[in-house]
Chains A and B, each alone.
Chain A
């Protein structure tokens, strides 16, 4: 809470009750690694605040005390080896303190071995395609109809009247809670990026390349994100929705999807 209000003071915004939903900071997310990422972010942020207080403090003091209008006489010194060695060495130490935990998190982020569920994510201009490798389920996921109707210029629809405007899809990605989910990202046309802040995942989907990312969601719920790499005119209109459900609900969903797909296949025959 203190952190939040400090941030809002920095932003000159004031965290009044009316604006309680103004998100000021990175979400802590729902995975171990998203929490670690958040902690790293806050650690570096607080170091920056501390350094800022010292540097700006000295500078502001100087601005008031060492001005000609209060009769300050200029000194003539132009170097001090001690000071220069100190302010080269101290930042090095601070950087080292930051670098160690950052490297540890980085190593864990890259360890996508032994997943429970593997999903191939393919970017298209301008929608996503998901293919569950072992379950044999696949589908496209596009911007949901209410947003599609509201988005054109002069659509006459107020974006505020659309629930989750531009952040809703027709078919969300469904994943089980507590299981290691590996995403294999690629693209069918241009570069895209799959970005869900609560999962702390942002990975480019690039044609001809398969990238890996992974997460283990610790909470159930609906989590939203967007394409984060400019991919053409509808770059702003290919959201991502991830639904985290309990393992049995997930299995039920897979079964329904399979049955539905079989039905569609039957009808197409």
Chain B
């Protein structure tokens, strides 16, 4: 009996990845699934990016040059859905899959089969969403916020939109459950909660947010579905419903959603800045409390997206004050990163460059966020390009830059080779220049009164729009350098186990490339940390 167990255990030790396509279809390995998530999100990043370039090309000069208004609206809608649900969220789940088990000393995710399923739902969901572009009536064109009654004017694409959102939600919820179970049950024995790396902490909080709000989104879109096909009137005034109720429900999901896209980014830069400052993260515990505080506040600020819908004065004042409060924990995070750099010994490899740009540019997005919190001023900013500038500043040089930083940081651990540093630096500098050229002028457009989601504009808005379009094309082309870096990722020098001079997590104790199975027996955090001294 005992021999049999030992034998099967040995056999288990031996097996590497399966061969061929089935390896990827049936894999339950967190590294394989992480890789698939990351590749999928990169593909979606380019799909959504292509749509952004269609939008920016049309807006480069006044007058309609390339598309019709209805197609323009389809582009803004699908661009947002693809970028939010297809690029940013899966990319962070991919990083979580790859890194969380290795950072907490676990052999794999806690629920590996569900892990496989939560990934493979995504290509189906996005296949369905993108197929709507070829349907009668075209893709959804009501904005990613899907406000009724407009969304109910969608053509054949409507049920496909709803079902694909359901599937994306399902995938996210399963991913989140998996991450929570893994983190709470599979840490190295001496890694108590406040010893966890920041990336693990921020993902734990994010996963709770996901479980809390994705079902709310599912409920909202299901009500849209029944309003359209089954004669209900949740949101139809003519039947006694309330169109504004949808906005409340949507933003109860939507505001935590923006933190779902930024908290893991906080985690990534909180790993990278200490490594390249050669100094421990300043205020680890207060970072944890700040992230929790942001997560809590995210549930009580949703109606700041709705200052123009005609809420009672008391409601507007409450949501204004609550929103302004978010600046406090967010400020704490930024001050802590700066304090981490303070009196460090910094070097500026590509991951550090992206992280530093993150701190600078996310802060600019935070400033415009604070301005937007001030309700009377928000009434002027709302639904103008000022808002477009704001959320692209927190999403592109925010979330996307953090993702890029994370990819460069952990790439040698994944491939076992150093990436092309020169190409990485080019990627960084071009991205940073063009991202600002794209989005900074949008602040001015918004303040001057240009509404968002319009295919054509009055001539006084021309100059800044042209700048933004030039920037967007430059930014898009710059991302091809990243593809080049990935394609040549295995050509560089062999990476050491620790890769960088001063990283301190458990993931740097395993070989580079990380073997197919890591931490079959739980490591001791203290032993690992002593080995770094």
Interface, chain A (partner B; CB < 8 A): 7, 10-13, 19, 21-27, 33, 36-37, 40-41, 44-45, 47-48, 51-52, 55-56, 58-59, 62-63, 66-69, 72-80, 83-84, 87-88, 91-92, 95, 98-99, 102-103, 105-107, 109-110, 150-155, 157-160, 164-167, 185, 189-191, 193, 195, 197, 200-204, 206-209, 211-212, 225-237
Q: Is B325 an interface residue (CB 8 A)?
A: yes
User: SS class of chain A's interface: helix, strand, loop or mixed?
Assistant: mixed
Taken together as a complex, chains A and B put the C-alpha atoms of A69 and B278 apart, in Å, by 13
Q: Is the CB of B244 within 8 A of A206?
A: yes
23 contacts across the A-B interface (CB closer than 8 A):
A13-B467, A23-B460, A40-B376, A51-B367, A59-B338, A66-B343, A66-B345, A67-B348, A69-B347, A72-B343, A78-B279, A78-B280, A79-B285, A80-B339, A88-B331, A91-B331, A106-B313, A165-B459, A166-B458, A190-B150, A204-B308, A230-B453, A236-B451
B456 CB-CB contact with A under 8 Å: yes
B149 pairs with A207, CB closer than 8 A: yes
Chain B residues lying within 8 Å of A37, measured Cβ to Cβ, are: 376-377, 379-380
- Chain A interface: which of B173-181, B224-232, B315-323? B315-323
B356's contact among A10, A26, A63, by CB below 8 Å, is which?
Answer: A63
Report B289-339 residues with CB < 8 Å from chain A CB: 308-310, 313, 316-317, 320-321, 324-325, 327-328, 331-332, 334-335, 338-339
- Residue B116 interfacial (CB < 8 Å): no
A62 touches B278 (CB 8 A): no
Which 10 pairs across A and B sit closest by C-beta, in order of nearness? A208-B237, A236-B454, A23-B448, A211-B310, A48-B367, A197-B449, A75-B343, A74-B278, A159-B62, A190-B150
Alpha-carbon distance A48/B142, docked complex (angstroms): 34
- Complex: chain B residue closest to A109, CB-CB: B376
Find the residue from A33, A44, A237 having the highest chain B CB count within 10 A.
A44
Determine if B382 and A228 form an interchain contact, defined as CB atoms under 8 angstroms apart. Answer: yes
Q: Is B242 an interface residue (CB 8 A)?
A: yes
Distance in angstroms between the alpha carbons of A51 and B334 in the assembled complex? 12
In the complex, chain B residues whose CB is within 8 Å of the CB of A91: 327-328, 331
A105 contact set on B, CB distance < 8 A:
376
Cβ-based interface call for B125 (8 A)? no
Which one of B282, B327, B374 has the highest number of Cβ atoms from chain A below 10 Å of its Cβ? Answer: B374
Q: Do A153 and B65 touch across chains, with their CB atoms under 8 A apart?
A: yes
CA distance A223 to B149 in the complex (A): 29
A103 near B317: Cβ-Cβ < 8 Å: yes
Asked if B309 and A98 make an inter-chain contact with CB atoms under 8 angstroms apart, the answer reads no
Q: Are B341 and A87 in contact, CB atoms less than 8 angstroms apart?
A: no
One of B68-76, B104-112, B424-432, B486-494 at the interface: B68-76
Nearest A residue to B456 by beta-carbon distance? A236
Report the count of interface residues on B (CB-CB < 8 A). 97
B449–A44 contact, CB under 8 A?
Answer: no
Q: Tell me if B63 and A155 are in contact (CB < 8 A).
A: yes
Which residues of A sit under 8 angstroms from B348, Cβ to Cβ? Answer: 67
Q: How far is the CA of A87 from the CA of B331 in the complex (A)?
A: 8
Whether A67 contacts B374 in the complex (CB less than 8 A), given A59-B341, A202-B382, comes out as no
Q: In the bound complex, do residue A209 and residue B308 qualify as a contact, i.e. CB atoms below 8 Å apart?
A: no
A66 x B454 contact (CB < 8 A): no
Contact of A202 among B147, B277, B280, B308 (CB under 8 A): B308
- Indicate which residue in A51, A102, A110, A226 contacts B454 across the interface (CB closer than 8 Å): A226
Do B64 and A151 have beta carbons less than 8 Å apart? yes
| B376 A208 Cβ-Cβ under 8 A | no
Minimum CB–CB distance for B244 against chain A, Å: 6
Q: Which residue of B lies closest to A158 (CB)?
A: B63
Most chain B CB inside 10 Å of its own CB: which residue of A83, A208, A209, A234: A208
Query: Would you give the shortest CB distance from B63 to chain A, in whole angstroms?
Result: 4
Interface residues of B (CB under 8 A from A): 62-70, 73, 141-143, 147, 149-150, 153, 237-238, 241-244, 277-286, 308-310, 313, 316-317, 320-321, 324-325, 327-328, 331-332, 334-335, 338-339, 341-348, 356, 359-360, 363-364, 367, 370-371, 374-377, 379-380, 382-384, 436, 440-441, 443-444, 447-449, 451-460, 463-464, 467
Contact, CB under 8 Å: B320 / A99: yes
Q: Are B242 and A208 in contact (CB under 8 A)?
A: yes
The answer to whether A230 touches B282 (Cβ under 8 A) is no
* Residue on A nearest B367 in the bound complex, by CB: A48
In whole angstroms, what is the CA distance A83 to B300 when docked?
28
Inside 8 A of B440's CB, which chain A residues have their CB? 10-12
Given contacts A84-B283, A227-B451, contact A102 B374 (CB under 8 A): yes
Specify which of B67, B332, B370 lies most central, judged by the most chain A CB atoms within 10 Å of its CB: B370
- Residues of B with C-beta under 8 A to A72: 343-346
Residues of B contacting A212 with CB < 8 Å?
310
Q: Which of B150, B279, B280, B363 touches A231 (beta carbons < 8 Å)?
A: B150
Main secondary structure of the interface of B (DSSP, over half): helix
Instruction: Check A209 against B243 for contact (C-beta < 8 Å).
Output: yes
Do the beta carbons of A195 and B284 come within 8 Å of each other?
A: no
Residues in chain A near residue B456, CB distance under 8 A: 151, 159, 166, 236-237
Given contacts A44-B371, A47-B370, A230-B452, 14 further A-B contacts (CB under 8 A): A62-B343, A66-B344, A66-B345, A67-B348, A78-B279, A83-B339, A190-B153, A195-B383, A202-B383, A209-B237, A225-B449, A228-B384, A232-B153, A236-B451
Chain A minimum-CB-distance residue to B237: A208
Q: Residues of A contacting B327 with CB < 8 Å?
A: 91, 95
Residues of B within 8 A of A48 (CB): 367, 370-371
Complex contact B64–A153 (CB within 8 A)? yes
Question: In the complex where A23-B460, A164-B458 touch, is A55 in contact with B73 (Cβ < 8 A)?
Answer: no
In this complex, which of B142, B143, B331, B376 has the most chain A Cβ atoms within 10 angstroms of its Cβ? Answer: B376
Residues of A within 8 A of B70 (CB): 233
* Pair A200/B460 contact, Cβ less than 8 Å: no
List residues of chain B with CB within 8 A of the CB of A95: 324-325, 327-328
Taking a contact as CB atoms under 8 Å apart, the answer to whether A11 and B444 are in contact is yes
Cα distance A67–B69 in the bound complex, in angstroms: 51
Whether the Cβ atoms of A92 and B63 lie closer than 8 Å is no
Q: Would A26 and B380 be within 8 Å (CB), given that A106-B375, A208-B238 are in contact?
A: yes
Q: Are B238 and A55 in contact, with the CB atoms below 8 A? A: no
- Tell me whether B308 and A203 are in contact (CB under 8 A): yes
Given contacts A44-B370, A48-B370, contact A36 B308 (CB under 8 A): no
Q: Please, which residue of chain A has its CB at the minimum distance from the CB of B363?
A: A55
Q: Is the CB of B448 within 8 A of A55?
A: no
B69 closest partner in A (C-beta): A233
- Give the complex CA separation of A83 and B332 in angstroms: 10
Contact A207 B377 (CB under 8 A): no
Are the CB atoms of A22 and B444 closer together than 8 Å?
yes
